[in-house]
Amino acid sequence: MSRRVGADPFPQTGGVYCRTVNNSEQIVDGDRRALARAITIAESTRADHRAQAVALLDSVGRNDSAFRIGITGTPGVGKSTFIEAFGLHLVRDLGLRVAVLAVDPSSSRTGGSILGDKTRMTELARHPNAFIRPTASGGTLGGVARRTREVIRLVEAARYDVVLVETVGVGQSEIAVANLTDAFVLLVAPAGGDELQGVKRGIMELADLIIVNKCDGALEAQARSTLADYASALGLMRPSSPTWTPVAMAASAHTGMGIDASWVTLQAMRTARHGEQATRRSAQESAALWSDVNDRVADALRADQRVLAIEAEVRAGSLSASRAAESILSIIGLSPSE
Amino acid sequence: MSRRVGADPFPQTGGVYCRTVNNSEQIVDGDRRALARAITIAESTRADHRAQAVALLDSVGRNDSAFRIGITGTPGVGKSTFIEAFGLHLVRDLGLRVAVLAVDPSSSRTGGSILGDKTRMTELARHPNAFIRPTASGGTLGGVARRTREVIRLVEAARYDVVLVETVGVGQSEIAVANLTDAFVLLVAPAGGDELQGVKRGIMELADLIIVNKCDGALEAQARSTLADYASALGLMRPSSPTWTPVAMAASAHTGMGIDASWVTLQAMRTARHGEQATRRSAQESAALWSDVNDRVADALRADQRVLAIEAEVRAGSLSASRAAESILSIIGLSPSE
């Protein structure tokens, strides 16, 4: 576990140089640069980096004490300002260590990202007890989910108390993030008569807490009305957990109204769910394993010319999907049975 | 392709005896008993039956001319009476050949099923141009989806013009059925003020057509009001297709009101989507192939003691999901890379 200074440096995807791979001790000791390097390796798609990331996860072990909170919302609802106000409340007023991870499967590292820009949360980014990191990167949703899970594990090993996982309110990334976290927050903005229009119903069903942001100044009355609409919509839905009924509340990142109440509510939820926490995490890990295996088997098969030739026949209608599935299963040595 | 009469009969899962497996000619010629036997074989989980089913699908080929309509709705909305009225309109008034398949992943063949009971649609069941069959059977959703796809292929080979695939309005089976069909109909009943409560939002998003059934007698006013609510809810949703905006309409299986209009609407949708039909079917077949392969790889792995031992370590927290995924991939001889 010693730091092998002097080993050949090699360029990382993000332009960072890595002098050591076996830096689990520094991570656990709170070395932010070691943590940043480890995350870069976990995010890399290079085969040697993958192997290093897996070894690193082995050596840091599993720390289940952090509170993982997923936060989603469409662009424009004020996610950055809310997360900055919320994060500053946690680090300044409550003395907690907070990591913010931003997930955006649609963006690529080189193409830039609407998320994860440290300049969005300048005050929080400067605080010694806060760690902000985009995990945005191109690739399959499964790959993004796996990388996010690994990055969460790494920041947990670095003993952050709260991990905020931010994602955009579009597409399938919310489901992936909800499956990685203990609580899921949907952030919305005050809106007019058709206020629920922009929100996919499926995302609302994932939410443990809906926060109507920007409840201040000229928008306050509209925010209150939007809050009533969401509260009413939540009342029509079946709660996904026996121990927690989702609630809606208002907040303002600008005035600070509702920021402390958001944390109190999330803590109440965490307490209510305490008994199911270990089971939930175990189930999440197991689901992540199967999801990983599925994705990687599919990736391997989609890269196989024999498999692609079979798929082309299915698309053309000259081979049944059932026959094709059997052929593909036999390629990987699995007997074709149900 | 000749009928091998005299081969050893063997008992089927459903108590049917099968004297021939290579009955593709009889199926194409419209022999209903041959079709029923073929479906029984396709539904069986026995390895030899699986092989026979795959061979049969090969020999009947692919007939893409049928119109596949998925119909869902929670118990009590009158699915059976609607399907009987709708099916009788098609066979009697329009001279079409209609197959009705009922899918219920939650029921088992031996445990009985709320679906697929021929006694529910006595008049339609007696008509020579109608074929009614439950495909209800226990097992994984993936297995049910595969069997349903195969059964659809078989009835299409038997040259039915319209295939109605009925499923219950709960759970994940709607998504599976929507992915197998050309049009998806959500049947709902007149309801009170909280009328959208029972319908999962995700199911509404799948619907190309929402029909408020039981629009007759004392319920008519309530049905009209429910119709307005659904029309309004549809207006808030993004259409899933560029060529068709989902609509809501009222019908009564009892008086016949709206039955012909339902068919006219579905035909209009089919015409609007005509240009994308071939692409859609190809994409559905390809998706079915990958889904099959995923399910069967997962089934094979979950039956492997080495894999289960690895999963137990992940659940216990003593092994990372990433390391575990690599171990499992190497068990099936796939190199652990992204």
Alpha-carbon distance values, B112 to B16, B83, B116 (Å): 16, 20, 10
Q: Which residues of B touch A54 (CB under 8 A)?
A: 320, 322-323, 326
| Residue of chain B minimizing CA distance to A311 | B286
CB B230, CB B188: distance < 8 Å: yes
Identify from B308, B314, B319, B320 which residue to disrupt to test chain A contact, counting A C-beta atoms within 10 A and taking the largest count: B320
Query: What's the pLDDT score for residue A251?
Result: 97
CB within 8 Å: B298 and A298: no
Query: What's the pLDDT score for residue A17?
Result: 44
Query: What's the pLDDT score for residue B107?
Result: 47
Q: Where are the beta strands (DSSP E) in B3-97?
A: 10-11, 17-18, 67-73
CB B290, CB A325: distance < 8 Å: no
Query: What's the pLDDT score for residue A212?
Result: 94
| Residue of chain A minimizing CA distance to B235 | A197
Strand, coil or helix: A1: coil
Is it the case that residue A257 has pLDDT exceeding 80? yes
Query: What's the pLDDT score for residue A198?
Result: 54
Alpha-carbon distance values, A181 to A66, A138, A148, A172, B133 (Å): 10, 21, 11, 15, 43
CB within 8 Å: B322 and A298: no
Strand, coil or helix: A62: coil
Name the DSSP class of A241: B
Residue B259, Cβ density class (10 Å: 0-12 exposed, 13-18 middle, ≥19 buried): buried
Query: What's the pLDDT score for residue B13?
Result: 39
Is it the case that residue B304 has pLDDT exceeding 70? yes
CB A80, CB A214: distance < 8 Å: no
| Residue of chain A minimizing CA distance to B48 | A337
Write down the mean pLDDT value for chain B: 81
Q: Which residues of A touch B194 (CB under 8 A)?
A: 236
Query: What's the pLDDT score for residue B158?
Result: 94
pTM over 0.90: no
Is it the case that residue A118 has pLDDT exceeding 90? no
> Which of A177, A134, A158, A135 is closest to A66 using CA atoms?
A158
Of A134-143, A236-245, A300-309, give the range with the top mean pLDDT. Answer: A300-309
CA gap A21, A37 in Å, rounded: 8
Is it the case that residue A119 has pLDDT exceeding 70? no
Q: Which residues of A touch B57 (CB under 8 A)?
A: 320, 322-323
Query: What's the pLDDT score for residue B171?
Result: 60
- For chain B, give the number of residues: 338
CB within 8 Å: B332 and A334: yes
CA B101-B104-B107 angle, to 5 degrees, is 130
CB within 8 Å: B294 and A289: no
Alpha-carbon distance values, A119 to A65, A81, A122, A123, A195 (Å): 29, 11, 5, 9, 30
- B64-88 pLDDT, tens digit per residue, is 889 999 999 877 788 889 999 999 9
Identify from A49, A230, A232, A289 which residue to disrupt to test chain B contact, counting B C-beta atoms within 10 A and taking the largest count: A289
Mean pLDDT confidence for A110-134 = 72
Identify from B205, B322, B330, B331 which residue to disrupt to test chain A contact, counting A C-beta atoms within 10 A and taking the largest count: B322
CA gap A338, B300 in Å, rounded: 8
Where is pLDDT greater, at A247 or A299? A247
CB within 8 Å: A202 and B202: yes
> Which of A46, A26, A42, A45 is closest to A34 using CA atoms?
A26
> Which of B151, B102, B157, B159 is closest to B125 using CA atoms?
B102
Which tokens belong to A262?
A: 């958001």
Residue at token pair 């009101």:
B257
Task: Please give the single-letter amino acid code of residue A35.
Answer: L
| Residue of chain A minimizing CA distance to B284 | A315
Query: What's the pLDDT score for residue A336?
Result: 53
